[in-house]
């Protein structure tokens, strides 16, 4: 029976759910699906669409097929760090603009040779550009999907997507590894449909996602082992385990955090650029003898 109290709670809940994903001025939300697979109607695309089907608030799903974008290699000029325009004329600006315009994101990549699709690394190599947008991307809810085909062959893929999301300051509501080998078969397994439903729920929930597995700071599952502690290979936070296997945090977290904390790195890089300009002549003297060594060959 729906009592007056219950009715109020339901209405309150609906309002809450709507306010969890940032508004665009209209009631409809924009969910951006970043598809890391070149396959049309492949598993990544289908699974992202399946998550969208379960999101029970009014939204538009916009999709970008990342391997179709033109993403050039970073020229290592540090121009962006000094707030100058990037000399690369490609689709990075389009991509970052779309990310800032979205209310929430679903990011999916196929596992290729024990890692994410290389497009994510290409984008990450241009990650200094993220700093310009950090205030707008920070805290945006997202879901990460690693689509793999073979048991025990997921490799380091989850770390790459976490890295992508963390450098943008996104709020990772869920990171899952979904098994589907044949192109497009992913939702034929009803367990995957249920997972998509739960991820849709997580994306619009205000609950903080606890990092049950992996690093207690950022959730990354790959750690370096030192004598008495583990060091996260992603955020560099350190922790150990007690005699019951519970994680005990040692450091205060790592390189990620609020924009102010993350932007300290940009300041450090600016300082390095200044240091380089001061030392340039001295450095040149040591490198000149190497200039004409070896023969560069091209295809
Ligand atoms: C080039 C290539 C490399 C792959 N390497 C792996 C791998 O290392 N581990 C794995 O579990 N699956 C691997 N797979 C399987 C895909 O991850 C799997 O089929 C996935 O569902 C593809 O998603 P998509 O249909 O969205 O492209 C590979 C597939 C391709 C085409």
pLDDT at 26 (0 to 100): 65
pLDDT at 27 (0 to 100): 82
Across all residues in the chain, what is the average pLDDT?
90
CB 115 within 8 A of CB 147: no
**Cβ(38) to ligand 1 under 6 A?**
no
CA of 181 to the centre of ligand 1 (A): 7
pLDDT at 244 (0 to 100): 86
- For the chain, strand residue ranges (E) read 29-35, 59-65, 104-112, 115-116, 141-148, 171-179, 223-225, 230-232, 238-241, 247-249
The 8-class DSSP code of residue 186 comes to G
**Cβ(108) to ligand 1 under 6 A?**
no
Give CA–CA dist 299/294, Å, rounded.
Answer: 16
pLDDT at 250 (0 to 100): 85
CA of 116 to the centre of ligand 1 (A): 9
Give CA–CA dist 144/254, Å, rounded.
Answer: 21
Task: Provide the token pair at 84.
Answer: 């100058």
**Cβ(183) to ligand 1 under 6 A?**
yes
pLDDT at 16 (0 to 100): 34
Give CA–CA dist 110/167, Å, rounded.
Answer: 20
**Assigned fold of 23-207:** Rossmann fold (3.40.50)
**Cβ(180) to ligand 1 under 6 A?**
yes
The string of pLDDT tens digits covering residues 24-38 is 556 899 999 999 999
**Cβ(12) to ligand 1 under 6 A?**
no
Give CA–CA dist 166/161, Å, rounded.
Answer: 8
How would you write the pLDDT of the chain (299 residues) with one tens digit per residue? 333 333 333 333 333 333 345 445 568 999 999 999 999 999 999 999 999 999 999 999 999 999 999 999 999 999 999 999 999 999 999 999 999 999 999 999 999 999 999 999 999 999 999 999 999 999 999 999 999 999 999 999 999 999 999 999 999 999 999 999 999 999 999 999 999 999 999 999 988 877 778 899 999 999 999 988 999 999 999 999 888 888 888 887 789 989 999 999 999 999 999 999 999 999 999 999 999 999 999 99
**Cβ(43) to ligand 1 under 6 A?**
yes
The string of pLDDT tens digits covering residues 44-78 is 999 999 999 999 999 999 999 999 999 999 999 99
CA of 43 to the centre of ligand 1 (A): 10
For a ligand 1 pocket test, name from 108, 109, 111, 158 the mutation site with the most ligand atoms within 8 angstroms of its C-beta.
111
pLDDT at 6 (0 to 100): 36
For a ligand 1 pocket test, name from 112, 114, 180 the mutation site with the most ligand atoms within 8 angstroms of its C-beta.
112
Please state the pTM of the whole predicted model. 0.89
pLDDT at 180 (0 to 100): 98
Give CA–CA dist 21/214, Å, rounded.
Answer: 27
CA of 225 to the centre of ligand 1 (A): 29
CA of 90 to the centre of ligand 1 (A): 27
């Amino acid at each position: 029976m729906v009592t007056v109290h219950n009715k109020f709670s339901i209405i309150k809940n609906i309002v809450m759910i709507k306010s969890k994903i940032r508004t665009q001025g209209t009631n409809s939300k924009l969910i951006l699906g970043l598809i890391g697979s070149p396959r049309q109607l492949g598993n990544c695309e289908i699974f992202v669409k399946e998550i969208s089907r379960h999101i029970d608030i009014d939204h538009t799903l916009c999709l970008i097929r990342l391997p179709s974008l033109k993403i050039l290699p970073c020229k290592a000029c540090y121009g962006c760090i000094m707030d100058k325009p990037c000399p690369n004329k490609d689709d990075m600006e389009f991509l970052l603009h779309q990310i800032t315009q979205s209310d929430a994101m679903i990011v999916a990549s196929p596992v290729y040779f024990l890692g994410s699709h290389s497009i994510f690394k290409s984008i990450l190599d241009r990650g200094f550009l993220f700093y310009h947008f950090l205030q707008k991307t920070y805290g945006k809810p997202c879901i990460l999907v690693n689509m793999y085909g073979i048991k025990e062959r997921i490799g380091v893929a989850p770390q790459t997507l976490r890295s992508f999301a963390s450098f943008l300051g996104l709020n990772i509501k869920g990171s899952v590894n979904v098994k589907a080998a044949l192109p497009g078969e992913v939702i034929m397994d009803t367990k995957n449909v249920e997972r998509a439903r739960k991820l849709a729920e997580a994306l619009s929930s205000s609950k903080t996602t606890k990092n049950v597995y992996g690093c207690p700071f950022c959730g990354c599952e790959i750690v370096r082992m030192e004598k008495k502690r583990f060091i996260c290979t992603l955020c560099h936070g350190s922790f150990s385990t007690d005699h019951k296997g519970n994680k005990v945090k040692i450091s205060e977290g790592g390189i990620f955090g609020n924009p102010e904390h993350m932007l300290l790195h940009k300041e450090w890089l600016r300082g390095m650029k200044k240091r380089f300009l001061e030392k340039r002549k001295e450095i040149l003297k040591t490198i000149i003898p190497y200039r004409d060594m070896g023969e560069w060959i091209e295809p």
